[in-house]
Structure 1
């Protein structure tokens, strides 16, 4: 099931950078390592497209991020970390706000570095970063990238590739910020410290279909995160013969909060079809494990 090429347009163009942000296409950003978040962009060319790589979080302790030429992801430096001090990691994949690019937003409080290794990992997936911005909002640093496919120059529409993007970013977050493992579902298998509390899939799973005009409906899903989740959701939707026009994939710690613009034969879902879709998704998502073999 491929996403439609024509997506919603954003009210503001990517070139309109909000106050307090830095545009990676402009002069390289150099900040003193004594500041709260330190970057070293001087060896980087103004365009990130030659390198090839989400909004909530807080930290009670001061953390200094040091970035060097050899490791520009930068990991947090702190004398001690406790559960309350680790901010919420958020990875958001937005297919709606830009018609030409897939927008990826990454946030982990104020601990993120330049994420160069993450961008290189995405380049190895055949992707390009056309533009990027960093926005600092209080204690939260939000990094936003505009991603396209290297072969076509267009946004990513394949659900399998979108899931690979999500898992690649989370994997690098676990690697360069190992303390994030206690706030991520993948931390149980791949992190240094598993989350202290496991989510009850039955309790955390919520599925709703809302009106979104005469030609499409808005499907909202909230459930416990796990590898392969996005691909599983897309397969279930396809099995009911419903088309996915666009999506927003939001990973907030242990929870996945996804939104899909869906339609049936070019029209919004009827109440009966909506109920069928909701019942199918609730049944499959509440299973303890996914059947996706490729992850």
Structure 2
């Protein structure tokens, strides 16, 4: 499993050109884990997004240009649209962050996504594609260009996630109705909204004497990864590593967590679970939602 992660950085800044790139960051210490749309064809259009956290900055997410010929070829509109899946894995490789993207057989070469990740100050160090019954899996490992090490802060991890989802909606507009981001940034919003109360599931279990495993499943929303990490660290629980999956309208996260180097005791598990449920079940129309 992965080693303990470094400092958390909150307050995401993304710059709008044809891809996303990270601007200045404000780093502050905290243990951490392991977007497009209808566009105006005459001028760029931007959406301002302010996260729930008081320490967060303003995020600028570019509306992508509507694309008729999606990467990998035109798709028959009568086809069944597969569920987009984006997995960010901090556990399986000790030296790099592993990203896996699946959208049936529609993703193509992902060259624009690779270039967008480079604009975030990241290197793609290895990549492979494999097929199974669920489709074509594009799997690659990324590291920070300045250090050669895995991505170690939640701000940049969320930037990676938003970059991939933004590019997916841009080059595969048919994915818009399958993603939570499609409600605000996509060509076609999801046909049905996820009932947060029904979709939210939390479990906490021991994962050896020195850490616990926190599993969270809930309705996806922009900034969710940042907020989950902040809520956990606000009660002095360390997030050592984990995996964050975006599966259509849902987000699924597994965090290895500890308190003072030990597994979390039952009373603190209840505090953590209640804090997360309170946040996740708040109405999405609040300021924190987009």
* 1:58-114 deviations in Å (ceiling 9; x for gaps): xxxxxxxxxxxxxx97144233236xx000100000000000000000000011110
What does residue range 35-50 of structure 1 map to in structure 2 within 5 Å? none
Structure 1 position 208, deviation (Å):
1.1
Q: Which residue of 2 aligns with 1:79?
A: 76
What does residue range 74-153 of structure 1 map to in structure 2 within 5 Å? 74-81=71-78, 85-138=80-133, 140-153=135-148
What does residue range 252-263 of structure 1 map to in structure 2 within 5 Å? 252-263=247-258
Q: Does 1:162 align with 2:161?
A: no
What does residue range 1-295 of structure 1 map to in structure 2 within 5 Å? 6=3, 74-81=71-78, 85-138=80-133, 140-289=135-284
* 1:14-54 deviations in Å (ceiling 9; x for gaps): xxxxxxxxxxxxxxxxxxxxxxxxxxxxxxxxxxxxxxxxx
TM norm structure 2? 0.74
Instruction: Confirm or deny: 8 A CA contact 1:211 1:218 kept in the other structure.
Output: yes
Is the deviation greater in 261-270 or in 189-198? 189-198
Instruction: Confirm or deny: 8 A CA contact 1:7 1:95 kept in the other structure.
Output: no
Structure 1 ranges of 4+ moved more than 4 A: 290-295
Structure 1 position 288, deviation (Å):
2.0
TM norm structure 1? 0.73
Q: Give unpaired runs (5+ residues) of structure 1.
A: 9-71
| Bigger strand share | 2
Instruction: Confirm or deny: 8 A CA contact 2:2 2:91 kept in the other structure.
Output: no
Structure 1 position 5, deviation (Å):
7.3
CA RMSD in angstroms comes to 2.3
Aligned residue pair count: 228
Q: Considering only CA atoms, is the larger Rg found in Structure 1 or Structure 2?
A: 1
Instruction: Confirm or deny: 8 A CA contact 1:92 1:248 kept in the other structure.
Output: yes
Q: Give unpaired runs (5+ residues) of structure 2.
A: 6-68
Structure 1 position 169, deviation (Å):
0.2
Point out which structure has higher relative CO (alpha carbons under 8 A, 6+ apart).
2
